[in-house]
Chains A and B, each alone.
Chain A
Amino acid sequence: MFISSENSPPCFKDFTLVMPAVAVGNVGQLSVDLIVSTLNMSRVGYMHTDCLIPMTGNNPYATSNENAEELHTPAEVYTAAELKLAVLQIRAPIIQSKSKKFRQLLVSWIKSSGFSRAVVLSSSQAYQRDDQQMKGIPLRYLVTPSLLKDSEDALKELSWREMERVSAYPGLTDANTEPRLYVPGGGITKGLYTDSCAEDVPLAVLILFCSEGDNIPDAFTLVNHLNDWLHLLDDPSQKPNKWKIPTSWNLLFGSGIPPALF
């Protein structure tokens, strides 16, 4: 359930929503972190639900001591009104038995808030690609019929590649088995996409094939890919690294080492 953190509920009419799928390498979540911290977006509310594992901490995007002590929760919504952009960040894993409920919650929230479109940043296991998926760049997209109507030209211009359907039984040529959509390690990605197709929600999914490890470069790849479409940052060629890494990315690989080692 969405709960506003301001006194008046925010208006999302005709906003674009960007959200991650909690997926392999947490790439979508890292990319969303980059967007929120770079665009200096302000928090407008929480997604308060029993579908996520509770966690909390201080401000992950703190820039100074003044704003460091701002509590954050497992799922929060940020906006940049001048860009007509809203971002949902999800910071905790989804409780497995409640993933269906969580998908339904998201789809009904997207529908009722009046977003013009939703973009899901997701990832999929690189080692489960088939031959055609291993060709070219490791990025794919999915788009629901209701968004395709408006974005067909833009997508054509970008010359992106759609996520290939894979055969259900690789190696067997059976005319009866239809190739199917398969996003291994993608969490709720596939379910969210099929639900959105059924509910006529304008939704796109960007998928990056990756493996788990240091996924910071993957996050930059995915967020740059998104930027090619949405133009969140102008003139990306000007600065070498235009995305701002948030303070919460410190110590991703653990604490300092004992000096006595040396």
Chain B
Amino acid sequence: MATFFGEVLSVYSRAVEEDEEELDENEEDAEIRRELEEKREVHLHWSPEVSESLKSGNKLPCSEFILAVGHNAARFLSVYALTSENWDALGRASVWNERSGGVASEESTCVFYRPKDNPAVLICQVTCYLAEDQLFQWTEKVFGCLQLRQLNVTVLSESSVSEFKTADYLSSSSAPFLRSLHSAAFSGKPVCKSLEQPNIVTGLQAAVLNHCEVHRIPSVVYQCYSDVIGPDSVTMETFKPTLTKLGKSIKLDPSPSADILRKIVRTTNIQSNLYI
């Protein structure tokens, strides 16, 4: 497109990518595409006894699935839940995408836990990046392993406050804050305000909520909007109102000792050089 002064600009669209002529695709292109697709597949690795029972057709019994997406949400669960009870690591999910570097990440960034004395509860912490085309697959695969009867899903997730739209100006003191979204089958009362229009939620939390809405599974998402980039304790504390609900199904430590907090909340000491 040319501007008023004759400068030629390339135009890109927020809605669509530039058309790709599919006709030109040859055998080799198709094979590369296929291989790439295979490489991007989501894999679940369960512990031996779980994979055994899945193989024989018995899905994981689960009445409470608690999913934490993002560093703050995951740390919140680590501090308040995972330290207070005996938990078994039940399995993990591994993904490869453009952000995971050269090799498939073996790091445990998406782990499933179950309390030793209560097999009906499952917790999952996701701190890795899942690409847009992997979200749906992750959800289908994970829910495919769970018994859906009497299943309740709670998702803790986070987003930047810059993505929150409101007619009133948000002063810096208002962040971080919590908003909720729930599926039609959810009958309880969320612990915070519902997400206002025209705000939307994307990412893994959206994929899970879509799945639950379509398959009529009671589910609620608590999304924290924070103004801090990276993990911090204030953002983590924003999830505290959910403790009353979570406490019904799992044992919690409502006031963790400073030691535990210190161990988990590592202060990211990146000095800003903006004002030097």
Residues of A within 8 A of B (CB): 3, 22-26, 46, 48-50, 53-60, 62, 68-71, 73-74, 93, 95-98, 100, 125, 127, 183-187, 190-191, 211-212, 247-252, 254-259
Interchain CB contact under 8 A, A46 and B213: yes
In the complex, A125→B10 CA distance in Å?
Answer: 12
Residues in A with CB closer than 8 Å to B206 are 54-56
Q: Given contacts A93-B16, A185-B13, A255-B169, is CB(A58)–CB(B196) below 8 Å?
A: yes
Interchain CB contact under 8 A, B132 and A53: yes
Per CB-CB distance, the 3 closest pairs between chain A and chain B, nearest first, are A54-B207, A57-B200, A50-B136
Determine if B49 is an interface residue (Cβ-Cβ < 8 Å): no
Residue of B nearest to A21 (CB): B16
- In-complex Cβ contact of B200 among A56, A62, A190 (8 A): A56
Residues in B with CB closer than 8 Å to A74 are 210
Q: Given contacts A68-B194, A71-B209, is CB(A53)–CB(B202) below 8 Å?
A: yes
Count, chain B residues at interface, CB 8 A: 50
Interchain CB contact under 8 A, A186 and B19: yes
- In-complex Cβ contact of B133 among A98, A247, A254 (8 A): A98
In the complex, A125→B18 CA distance in Å?
Answer: 11
Residues in B with CB closer than 8 Å to A22 are 15-16
Residue of B nearest to A70 (CB): B184
Interchain CB contact under 8 A, A57 and B210: no
Residue of B nearest to A3 (CB): B214
- In-complex Cβ contact of A71 among B16, B167, B168, B181 (8 A): B181
- In-complex Cβ contact of A247 among B11, B170, B198 (8 A): B198
In the complex, A49→B166 CA distance in Å?
Answer: 30
Q: Given contacts A73-B214, A256-B167, is CB(A96)–CB(B198) below 8 Å?
A: no
Interchain CB contact under 8 A, A71 and B182: yes
Residue of B nearest to A61 (CB): B197
Residues in A with CB closer than 8 Å to B145 are none
- In-complex Cβ contact of A97 among B11, B15, B133, B136 (8 A): B133
Q: Given contacts A46-B214, A185-B16, is CB(A68)–CB(B209) below 8 Å?
A: no
Instruction: Determine the main DSSP class of A at the interface with B.
Output: loop
- What is the CB-to-nearest-CB distance from B103 to chain A, in angstroms, rounded to a whole number? 22
Residues in B with CB closer than 8 Å to A50 are 133, 136-137, 140
What 0/1 pattern do residues 22 to 39 of B give for CB contact below 8 A with A?
100000000001000100
Residue of B nearest to A126 (CB): B1
Within 8 A of A (CB), among B185-236: 194-204, 206-207, 209-211, 213-214
- What is the CB-to-nearest-CB distance from A241 to chain B, in angstroms, rounded to a whole number? 20
Interchain CB contact under 8 A, A73 and B213: yes
Interchain CB contact under 8 A, B166 and A57: no
In the complex, A184→B18 CA distance in Å?
Answer: 8
In the complex, A185→B20 CA distance in Å?
Answer: 10
Interchain CB contact under 8 A, A57 and B181: yes
Interchain CB contact under 8 A, B214 and A48: yes
Within 8 A of A (CB), among B36-66: 37
Q: Name 19 A/B residue pairs within 8 A (Cβ), A-sorted.
A: A25-B15, A54-B139, A54-B202, A54-B210, A55-B201, A56-B201, A57-B195, A60-B198, A71-B181, A93-B15, A97-B37, A185-B13, A187-B16, A211-B1, A212-B14, A250-B165, A250-B197, A251-B167, A255-B165
Residues in B with CB closer than 8 Å to A60 are 197-198
Residues in B with CB closer than 8 Å to A256 are 166-169
Interchain CB contact under 8 A, B202 and A73: no
Residues in B with CB closer than 8 Å to A191 are 22
Residue of B nearest to A51 (CB): B136
- What is the CB-to-nearest-CB distance from B129 to chain A, in angstroms, rounded to a whole number? 14
Residues in B with CB closer than 8 Å to A257 are 169
In the complex, A248→B22 CA distance in Å?
Answer: 35
Residues in A with CB closer than 8 Å to B136 are 49-50, 54
- What is the CB-to-nearest-CB distance from B183 to chain A, in angstroms, rounded to a whole number? 6
Determine if B17 is an interface residue (Cβ-Cβ < 8 Å): yes
Residue of A nearest to B1 (CB): A127
Residues in B with CB closer than 8 Å to A254 are 165
In the complex, A74→B201 CA distance in Å?
Answer: 11
In the complex, A256→B165 CA distance in Å?
Answer: 8
What 0/1 pattern do residues 1 to 15 of B give for CB contact below 8 A with A?
100000000010111
Determine if B164 is an interface residue (Cβ-Cβ < 8 Å): yes
In the complex, A258→B166 CA distance in Å?
Answer: 12
Determine if B135 is an interface residue (Cβ-Cβ < 8 Å): yes
Interchain CB contact under 8 A, A23 and B15: yes
Interchain CB contact under 8 A, A250 and B167: yes
Residues in B with CB closer than 8 Å to A23 are 15-16
